[in-house]
Amino acid sequence: MTNSKSIYKIVLPLLLGVLLVWYSLSQISVSKLLQYFKEAEYIWIVIGVVLGILSHTSRAYRWLYMAEPLGFKPRLANSFMSVYSAYLINFTIPRAGEIARASILTNYEGIPFEKGFGTIVAERVADTIMLLVIIFIALFLEYDFILGFFLDKFKPITLVILGSIVILIGLIVYLFVKRSETTLALKIKNFVNGLVEGALSIFKMKRKWAFIFHTIFIWTMYLSMFYVTTFALPELNDISIAPVLIGFILASFSIAATNGGIGSFPEAIVIAFMIFNLPEDPSRAFGWIMWSSQTFVIILLGGLSLLYLPLYNRKQKRV
C-alpha cells in the first residue's frame, strides 16, 4: 500500500505536468512561442536570473543561523550546493529535494539527518509565513479590484451563498480537527502547531533579526525576479503591481502541483494575467520564459553542485 502511494506521488504530478505542457502548447503554436523567445530582451531575463541566484544564496546563508544552535558551523559552499542540489532533485521526485539536502549536510558537515531535516522544515515554516504575508498584501492592495471582479462575474446573492458555504465548511473543518482523533485531523493539527511553533522559535533564535532579514530578502528577490522579467516582453512593459502579485502567488502554488512547476507554472501565470485583461499569448510566453530561465539555472548549478560537492569536500579534508 505504501509503495502504491509513493508511486502515485511520483507519477501523478509528472502526468499532470505532461498534460499541462500539451495543453499550453495547444493554446500557442511552438513557432509563435519561439518567436517570443527570439524577440525577448534578454538583459531583463539575465537580471531576473541574477536576482534568483541572490535569493538562493541568501537561503543558503540563512540556514547557517539555524545550524548554529545545534553546535555546528557548516561551510556556506556546502549549504549553497545543497540548496541547488535539492531544487534539481525536486524536478525528478517532488519533495525528495529536502531529504537529499539533509543527507548532503549529513555526509559533508556531519549534521545528524534528523536535526538537519528539522531545520529545513523550520525554514519552510518561515517561507510559508512569508507567502501568506504576500497573499494578505495582495488582498489588501487589490481588495476593490478583487471584489469588483467577483461582483462582475457573479450576482451578489451568489457571492453571499458562496461566502456562507465557505464559512460553514471552515467551521465544520475547525470542529472536526478540534475534536477528531483521525489521521487526517492529527496531520492538520500537527501542521498548524508546527507552523505556530516554527514562527515562535524564530524569535527565540540567537540571531533572529539576521534570520528575519534574510527571509524578507529572499522573498523580495523572488518578487523582483518575477517583476523584472516581465520587461523582457514589450507587451507586458506597462504591467502594474496587481497582476505581478497575483501571478507570483499562483505561480508559487503551481510549483507544488507538478515537478518543478513544469506545465503548471506558465498556465498559472496565464490565469492570473487574464484576470487583469492582459493579452493571452504574451502572458503564456512570459510564463515559459520565466520558467525556462529559472529551470536552466537550477539544472546548471544543481548539476554542477552534485558533481563538485565530493571534490570540494575532498580538497577541504586535505587542507
222-244 confidence digits (pLDDT tens) = 999 999 999 999 999 888 888 89
Kind and range of the H or E element at 186? helix 183-202
Chain centroid offset of residue 227 CA: 15
Structural domain boundaries in the chain = 19-155+207-318
pLDDT confidence of residue 209: 86
CA–CA separation, 306 and 108 (whole Å):
12
- What integer pLDDT is reported at residue 9 of this predicted model? 66
pLDDT digits (tens, 9 = 90+) for 106-141: 888 888 887 788 788 888 888 888 998 998 888 888
Distance CA 107, CA 101 (A): 10
Which amino acid makes up residue 129? I
Output the nine-digit C-alpha cell for 296.
536552466
Q: Which residues contact 182 (CB under 8 A, 6 or more apart)?
A: none
> Which spans in 28-142 are helix H?
30-39, 42-67, 76-90, 96-109, 113-141
Backbone phi, then psi, for 206, in 5-degree steps? -65, -40
What is the tens place of the pLDDT at every residue in 252-296? Answer: 888 878 888 888 999 999 999 988 889 999 999 999 999 999 999
CA distance 65 to 242: 34
Rounded Cα distance, 219 and 243, in Å: 17
pTM: 0.81
From CA 279, how far away is CA 273, in angstroms rounded?
8
Rounded CA-CA distance 168/123 in Å is 33
The answer to whether 99 touches 43, Cβ cutoff 8 Å, is no
